[in-house]
Amino acid sequence: MEDYRVRYQQWLEDPFIDEETKAELRGITDENEIKERFFKELEFGTGGLRGIIGNGSNRLNRYTVGKASQGLANYIKKEGTQKQGVAIAYDSRFMSPEFAEVAGLIFAANGIPAYVYPSLRPVPMLSFAVRELGCTAGVVLTASHNPPEYNGYKVYWADGAQVVAPRDKGIITEVNAVENFGQIQRMEKAEAVEKKLYTLIGEEVDEAFDRNVQAQLMNPEMIARMGDKLNIVYTPLHGSGNLPVRRNLAKAGFKNVFIVKEQELPDSSFSTVDYPNPEDTKVFTLARKLAAEVNADVLIGTDPDCDRMGAMVKDSEGNFVALTGNMVGALATDYILSQRKEQGRLPANGVVVKTIVSTEMITPICRAYGVGKIDVLTGFKYIGEQIKGFEETGSHTYLFGFEESYGCLAGTYARDKDGVYAAVLVCEMAAYYKEKSMTLYEALLKLYEKYGYYRDGVKSMTMKGLEGMARIQRIMKTFRENTPKELGGYKVVMAKDYQTQVFRNLETGEESGSPLPVSDVLHYTLEDGTWVCIRPSGTEPKLKFYIGVKADDLQAAQDKVDALDADIEAKVAEIA
């Protein structure tokens, strides 16, 4: 009998799985459906779980969530920090509140107090709560901007950041050691509440979070002058950002905030969009309609768990253009550093942190202000890890961090990207430049004139299921074993393999080691300074190609990106 059939039969015979679940599984008539659900265990990776909601070993359900929670509880008990408790948050996705309660009651059954938000909250508020409440760990039920059929289980440690090595491996070992569902400890909610092992997080934590967001404002006096002159359209895309974003915009002093009513309330189906991702400009269709009615200056949108923020602003002709994560990162870096310098608050050991797939435009901006720049692997947890290191050693003062995928953070109150703060920041910058009779896009053009015309692109190839996973592995193996001689018509001069940890200069043959941890990432530098990076997504069935170029003008830069995009497509098509 094949492995997936063995797992399927085990679930049908398991005395700890309820009859309703078993009946649903018995009713599956498509053999391929059984295979998809049971061909493997849903892997608890370095960030936790993420998968399609449903019954089966390769699905997210109360049993796979239970196994993850019991494994995390076992790890916490071995660390001896169980009395500190675990903070839990969830977003607007299907089963998020139910999974949050399942996790909380398992922690309670293990003698670990669970502090649970009473309703949906953004990821950064969970990161903040872990630190504010002095918890040993945190869990948030979310699948970020994935399609509605997905959900996930993300784990944070006491510093408020997602777990990193070696702690992540320790937790994974404990989760994998839970071999059957009978090992999962359980407690009734009434008993957990009575024993003070299951407690709802109070409004005072929300208020403390808001105070920290407001503390990041660079120029509150300017906002006081411009707060009623900037028209803002905001869409929470049916997610957790609705209340905290509006609350913080109001506290900052922005008076004219218009909400996209059709996308205001939680909706697990995200029924007004194909895909609740603010990186996709199609999600702003309704926002743009409202913008025309209210003469908006800026449109902002946050994803369901409100750790990412996308924006559209007017160009010189009054047409709305999208700001990519890299554009926001460059604008914010320049704005924060310039304001700090003007106010005499730019520390000598200041540093900006970005991921290796984010724009290189940050390098000359940081150089101009005399601050450092550090590159880390993809994933905001690595930025959070840097912040923790700075606090422990005093080596640097963290000023700002961002990644190309629309996430950023200033301040150290949270250790994950914060869509609430990002929304306030973009509106502050828009107000600052409006006072100077400029749009935010015109401010970006000024940066290009000063530092060079940088352009970045991301090509995502979706490859679903068992076959898709195998194809992603074949493509990565082919590129790893056969370094391309050229990409987009330019010679490849440097190949960096973060998995083998070997960096190779293709012109001299010289090899060096990687300064960053092991990761399934390939990075190529071309003869003109252009770079291309390849990595499988850690959260979706996608293979991602990142492109970064610099040219003499925007059109030339876009032409380079387009040429690389076409060449990558052709090279991938050749791989069986």
| Inter-CA distances, 506 with 284, 461, 483, 547, 549, Å | 44, 28, 10, 19, 20
Closest CA to 253 of 227, 217, 219: 227
Query: Scanning the structure block, which residue is given the tokens 């895309």?
Result: 237
Tokens of 123: 């990821």
Establish whether 144 is a catalytic residue.
yes
Between CA 74 and CA 68 the distance in angstroms is 10
Greatest Cα pair distance in the chain: 72
Residue 26, CA atoms < 13 Å, CB-side half-sphere: 8
User: Can you give the length of the chain in residues?
Assistant: 576
Question: How many other CB atoms are there within 10 angstroms of residue 442's CB atom?
Answer: 15
Backbone φ, ψ for residue 228 (5° rounding): -100, 10
Determine which helix (DSSP H) or strand (DSSP E) holds 504, and give its type and residue range.
Answer: strand 502-505
Q: E strand or H helix at 53, and its extent?
A: none
Instruction: State whether residue 176 is helix, strand or coil.
Output: helix
- Residue 107 DSSP one-character state: H
Closest among 556, 537, 389 to 458, alpha carbons compared: 537
Instruction: Assign 459 to helix, strand or coil.
Output: strand
Nearest CA among 239, 263, 236, 238 for reference residue 249 = 236
Active-site residue among 92, 96, 144, 358?
144
DSSP 439: -
- Distance from C-alpha of 551 to C-alpha of 394, rounded to nearest angstrom: 38
The residues carrying an active-site annotation are 144
